[in-house]
């Protein structure tokens, strides 16, 4: 698959896999309890004892980063799965059906598309004293499905008049089989791209809610680390408290963007063929950025010998382009 042969998407998958392993193996990687206080070691810079320094009450920042990875990925994946499922159901159904049913589902997605997501997330999340992770994920998923549904509806509308769909309908295939067997395989690339974009929005939404204090501090993630750093005036002197969390958020975003490059190459035939040509040129040692590509030619004497000419004859060399 072009996605896995693409160096950018492969790099993104490796970065995301590393974060996933950190989240799974957090109790083994973290050297301290993330909430343990060492009052005699407050605001210590990075050292061998505390790799990323300590907070204002002596908490180990590295341990908080490791455990915070778990919260970010759990909420990110749960919210993305919920939003993707809703987008598939609403978008594909609205694209395949006709009449008022299709228009009603399309209007529903348009309503959620224009609803301001952040204020709605703040209102819903603030109704819980200590919201569990699945509630936070549900809020993010509820506000993140509309764009994917709109894209899937447009693509489904272009598929429903194709010959293989018409043939399945003429053979009396049930609706669920036409959608699951005939349509969904042709929509998988778009679904995957929507999944990546929705997860990016979910991670940014979670860290934003935590940073502004909507999510309780008991839900440890990178956003709560930034929240406590900002509340205790860590900017700019105590850089080890807030820079690692910001870098991790940026790295997750970069990894998802790189994965999306591979998905785009897989979906778009022009990008896929261009990528294959570029990889083939690199294998031959040719410079992709050269304005003019030189053509390798054999010496004139060798060419004339192969053509049956007498050796020693004078032949003009072909110009090199």
Query: Cα(247)–Cα(250) distance, rounded to whole angstroms?
Result: 5
| Contact of 304 with 313, CB cutoff 8 Å | yes
Query: Cα(203)–Cα(222) distance, rounded to whole angstroms?
Result: 10
> Which residues lie across from 60 on neighbouring strands?
54
Query: Cα(258)–Cα(12) distance, rounded to whole angstroms?
Result: 5
Query: Cα(140)–Cα(84) distance, rounded to whole angstroms?
Result: 12
Per-residue pLDDT, 81: 93
| Contact of 279 with 272, CB cutoff 8 Å | no
Per-residue pLDDT, 321: 44
Residues composing the chain: 321
Per-residue pLDDT, 188: 84
Angle between helices 239-267 and 184-211 (to 10 degrees): 170
Per-residue pLDDT, 262: 77
Q: Tens digit of pLDDT per residue, the chain (321 long)? A: 555 667 788 888 999 999 999 999 999 999 998 888 888 888 888 989 888 989 988 899 999 999 999 989 998 999 999 999 999 999 998 888 888 888 888 888 888 888 877 787 778 777 777 777 788 888 888 888 888 899 899 888 888 888 888 888 888 888 788 888 888 888 888 888 888 888 988 898 888 888 887 777 677 889 899 998 988 888 888 899 999 999 999 999 999 988 887 777 766 655 555 555 666 666 666 665 655 444 555 555 555 455 554 444 444 444 444
What does R_g of the chain's alpha carbons equal in angstroms? 28
Q: In Å, what is the CA distance from 300 to each residue of 206, 309, 316?
A: 68, 11, 7
Per-residue pLDDT, 1: 52
pTM of the model: 0.76
Per-residue pLDDT, 192: 86
Per-residue pLDDT, 320: 47
């Amino acid at each position: 698959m072009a996605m896995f042969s693409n160096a950018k998407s492969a790099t993104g998958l490796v970065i995301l896999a590393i974060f996933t392993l950190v989240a799974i193996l957090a109790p083994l990687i973290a050297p301290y309890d993330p909430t343990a206080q060492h009052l005699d070691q407050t605001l210590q810079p990075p050292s061998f004892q505390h790799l990323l320094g300590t907070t204002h009450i002596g908490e180990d920042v590295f341990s908080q980063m490791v455990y915070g990875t778990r919260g970010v990925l759990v909420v990110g994946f749960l919210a993305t799965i919920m939003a993707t499922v809703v987008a598939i159901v609403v978008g594909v159904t609205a694209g395949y059906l006709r009449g008022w049913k299709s228009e009603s589902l399309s209007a529903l997605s348009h309503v959620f598309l224009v609803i301001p997501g952040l204020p709605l997330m703040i209102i819903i999340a603030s109704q819980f004293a200590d919201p569990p992770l699945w509630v936070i994920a549900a809020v993010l998923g509820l506000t993140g499905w509309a764009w994917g549904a709109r894209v899937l509806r447009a693509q489904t509308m272009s598929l429903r008049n194709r010959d293989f769909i018409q043939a399945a309908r003429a053979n009396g295939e049930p609706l669920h089989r036409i959608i699951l067997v005939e349509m969904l395989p042709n929509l998988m690339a778009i679904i995957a791209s929507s999944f990546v974009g929705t997860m990016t929005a979910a991670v940014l939404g979670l860290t934003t809610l935590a940073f502004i204090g909507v999510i309780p501090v008991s839900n440890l993630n990178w956003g709560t680390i930034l929240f406590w750093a900002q509340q205790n005036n860590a900017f700019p002197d105590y850089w080890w408290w807030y820079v690692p969390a910001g870098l991790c958020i940026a790295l997750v975003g970069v990894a998802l963007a790189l994965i999306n490059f591979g998905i785009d190459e897989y979906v778009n035939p022009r990008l896929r063929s261009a990528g294959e040509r570029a990889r083939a040129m690199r294998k031959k040692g040719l410079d992709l950025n050269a304005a003019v590509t030189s053509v390798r030619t054999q010496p004139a004497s060798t060419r004339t010998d192969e053509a049956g000419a007498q050796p020693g004859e004078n032949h003009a060399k072909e110009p090199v382009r």
